[in-house]
Amino acid sequence: MKVRDLMAQPVVTIDCREVLADAIDLMRAREIHHLVVTDNGEAIGLLSAHDVARFESKKHVAPEVVQVGEAMSPEPYRVEPDAPLAGVAAEMAACGFGAALVVEHGRLVGVLTVRDCLRMLARLLGPVRGGDHAVA
């Protein structure tokens, strides 16, 4: 299985000059936990819900004031769409990456998250006996 088989598309982006409040609203509206941060259309970082919570707790500032570029994780993990999913998932787990940008020929084509990998794992393992946990 390849990364392209599981990556999320289309990519949801936000400009680095937008404020955290806008990023939070976008994440909630799209029901996602990661946004690709751009500067003049180029992917420069990744903002996760965890980044937002960590920044807010450390800085004690209003999300209406702080720019996304201040809270993002710069230089996110990047992979190619034809990379083997097993190797990418192992690297993400070993390094604590919550997501990877999927780049093909220098162009951002998708995002792969830990949640995507866990959904696939749940499908591969089959239904949970004695439980009612569904995989979307």
DSSP, residue by residue, 47-60: EEHHHHHHHHHHH-
76-135 confidence digits (pLDDT tens): 999 999 999 999 999 999 999 999 999 999 999 999 999 888 888 888 888 776 655 555
What is the CB neighbour count within 10 angstroms for residue 1?
A: 11
Residue 134 or residue 4, greater confidence: 4
Compute and round to an integer the Cα radius of gyration of the chain: 16
Mean pLDDT of 57-76: 85
pTM: 0.84
Q: Which residue ranges form the domains of the chain, and what is each CATH number?
A: 3-125 (3.10.580.10)
